[in-house]
Amino acid sequence: MQSSSSRHAFLSSCFVAGLTLILFSALASATFAGKNGRITFVADLSGTFQLYTINPDGSGLFQVTSLPTTSNSTWFPDYSPDGKQIVFCHDMTGSLELYVINGDGTGLKQITKIDGTDKLFARWSPDGRRLVFLRVEGILEAISLMPSDGSGEIRDLTRDPWDVYQPTFTPDGRHILFGSREGGLVSAIWIMNLHGTDKRRLTKAPIEAGGPDVSPDGRHVIFYSRQNTVRPGHVFVMSVDGKGTTQLVPNDLVSYFPTYSPDGKKIAFEGDSLGSANIFTMNADGSDITKITNNLVENCGGNCVIADWGVEPVE
Amino acid sequence: MNLRITLRALTLIAFLILGLGQANATFPGKNGRIAFVQGPDIFTMNPDGTDVKQLTNLGPDSGAFWQSWSPDGKQIAFSKVGPPDFLGQIWLMNADGSNQHALLAEPDFHNEGPSFTPDGNAVIFTRCRLDLPETCALYQMNVTGGGLTAITKYELGIGEWRPKYSANGSLEFQGTGIEGIGCALYLRADSLAGQRRITPAALSAATPEWSPDGRRIAFSTHCDNPQNEEIWVVNAESHLLHRLTRNGNDYFAGPHDFSPSWSPEGDAIVFQRVAPDLSSSSIVIMKADGSSSKTLLTLRPSARTNKSLDNRIHELGRGAAKRRLKEIEEGGVLPQWGVAPR
């Protein structure tokens, strides 16, 4: 995948149009890397939960949706690789279905059919053509793939009798990381290929890892500890091979659901302190932790603000 | 800790001085009746399924469950919930249902799952804090009231359930969330030596029950994942495993087995079997090697008539992980085999 800021700089340096066109396919398959755009999240700022975006410095708050009232605050929004659309789940039909909306609030579209299952945790593939998500049928759960435009069939990648959740593509589009309780652990992060085979566990007990996000250069994974527990979680980083686990956010700030910035240099995450949940940013090495929102969710018990950092769209 | 050590030492001294025989001091003995739960109440029956007697009569707003026999077969300790706060209380009654009385009812703790010490003088149970979520430790108190003593310490998000003493005083229990493992069995052979895990994480072991000789523990598997629950046995010393029931890999094609309980003579195990489609629940008996299983009684699943009570029970001291599974488990029949009183 596009690694890194150097490729981004290269692509954004306004080379000749022909060269850009030639490289476009490589960019499209690479994806989430790019110039840092806005951060999307869900919050109850107007009497009901809605989807918002905000600049990484905390300015420019924008309400994207005006959807029916729901008690469900976990929509798991995810920016498309081009930064123009956001996929999320919502229960307005009675079941959790996936929706896509443009970043300016136009073009809302339900992309999954009501079929007795719930769909959530949707994440775009790097080429923008597919979504990986969790499909829940009763007590059985599967990590599944579908075309991002809602056409075509849903294909289950896992059918294992263990809880699975939070799938996300690697930037090369060839693997999926996900959380799982396989083996009787409270939670661990696993990796598999797009056939649902060649599964490997990347984290060990007792860290109870969840919420993985892969760096744009494909080399690192950020996640949080204490998934599936009531204990306070904290953001960690490790190599994509599962080695070198390091805590990034100190114990005095409870932290969840980290997301890399498109340039790979920053991380946004949910930070909980004094009963309030907010979006924080920091450098990828854990330095310069900054709160960018003002008491987004009061009386938060954890996992209240699930944010995603998008690419700045190129018109 | 010092108090625990002191109590432990006093218990040991009492055994030595009073010469209480290890083998007949507790759960081993002649096979007696089987206690079980149907709806909100506790019943008993003969091991062949005959002579069913109702011991409690609590009505739709209350519930009695997690019953356990005294070593002499003359008493039953159980959990009870009801209005106004629906917090779990520890109760005692005679084996015929007479003399029902509360042993421990606290406004700021949820208590459940009592079982007797080998000398029958105390009960050990799970005591959950209400000020911290999913935080439950093991406590013990005298059957005459008083003497509430911590056996384990509270730790946020850690649960310790179904404590059971063997005849020789080893304590086993089901732990949830300990060292990143969902469910497993732990053994405290000696309070000084601490506890050790005796089942692998992948089995997700629950509802442990000592064999009367104190050498093996029967348990059910997959406490918190959608796999077919089975009855297994683990050797307390070697940790060798023995699989007694095999229910396949398809959750809705195979039965779900819970809550094994040994016969006091050690020759058989009784357990709860839920139908593959979760439509009914049975009490099944089999030989201790897993052969010759036979259904004694078939009941409606989760026969509690008051669903709000069910939900309230689930909220107390428990996570939200797999409420459906918990409904089967906690709304189940929980067969417990007692010693025939002399």
Give chain B positions within 8 Å (CB) of A163: 225-226
Would the CB atoms of B177 and A229 count as touching at under 8 Å? Answer: yes
Predicted TM-score (pTM) of the model is 0.85
Number of domains, chain A = 1
List residues in chain B touching A: CB distance below 8 A: 132-135, 156-157, 177, 179-184, 200-204, 224-227, 249, 251, 319, 321-322, 324-325
pLDDT (average), residues A113-138: 94
* ipTM for the complex shown: 0.83
pLDDT at B312: 39
Would the CB atoms of A184 and B204 count as touching at under 8 Å? Answer: yes
* Structural domains present in chain B: 33-157+304-330 (2.120.10.30), 166-299 (2.120.10.30)
Give chain B positions within 8 Å (CB) of A230: 132-135, 156-157, 319
**Residue B199 to chain A, least CA–CA distance (Å):** 11
Burial B263-273 (b: 16+ CB within 10 A, else e): bbbbebbbbbb
CATH number, domain of A210, equals 2.120.10.30
Nearest residue of A to residue B320, measured between CA atoms: A228
Residue pair A150/A188 in contact (Cβ under 8 Å)? The answer is no
Q: Is A18 helix (H, G, I), strand (E, B) or coil?
A: helix
Residue pair A97/A141 in contact (Cβ under 8 Å)? The answer is no
pLDDT (average), residues A221-248: 95
Full domain range(s) for residue A65: 4-311
Could you tell me which residues come within 8 angstroms of residue A15 by beta carbon, excluding any fewer than 6 positions away? none
Q: DSSP state, A208?
A: -
The closest of A294, A231, A301, A246 to A73, measured between CA atoms, is A301
Size of interface A-B (CB pairs under 8 A): 66
Tens-place pLDDT, residues B24-38:
324 789 999 999 998
**Residue A300 to chain B, least CA–CA distance (Å):** 14
Nearest residue of B to residue A231, measured between CA atoms: B157
Tens-place pLDDT, residues A23-40:
333 333 333 778 999 999
Please tell me if residue A206 touches chain B, with a CB cutoff of 8 Å. yes
Q: Is the dihedral of CA A185, A188, A191, A192 positive or negative?
A: positive
Q: What would the two tokens of residue B81 be?
A: 């919930």
Would the CB atoms of A139 and B322 count as touching at under 8 Å? Answer: yes
pLDDT at A114 exceeding the cut of 80: yes
Tens-place pLDDT, residues B296-320:
988 765 544 444 444 434 333 333 3
Give chain B positions within 8 Å (CB) of A137: none
- Range among A54-63, A72-81, A159-168, B12-21 with highest mean pLDDT value: A54-63
pLDDT (average), residues B132-150: 95
* Residue spans of beta strands (DSSP E) within A139-248: 140-147, 155-156, 164-169, 175-180, 188-193, 200-201, 210-214, 220-224, 235-239, 246-247
Q: Is A58 exposed, middle or buried (0-12, 13-18, 19+ CB in 10 A)?
A: middle
pLDDT at B43: 95
**pLDDT band for position B21 (50/70/90)?**
very low
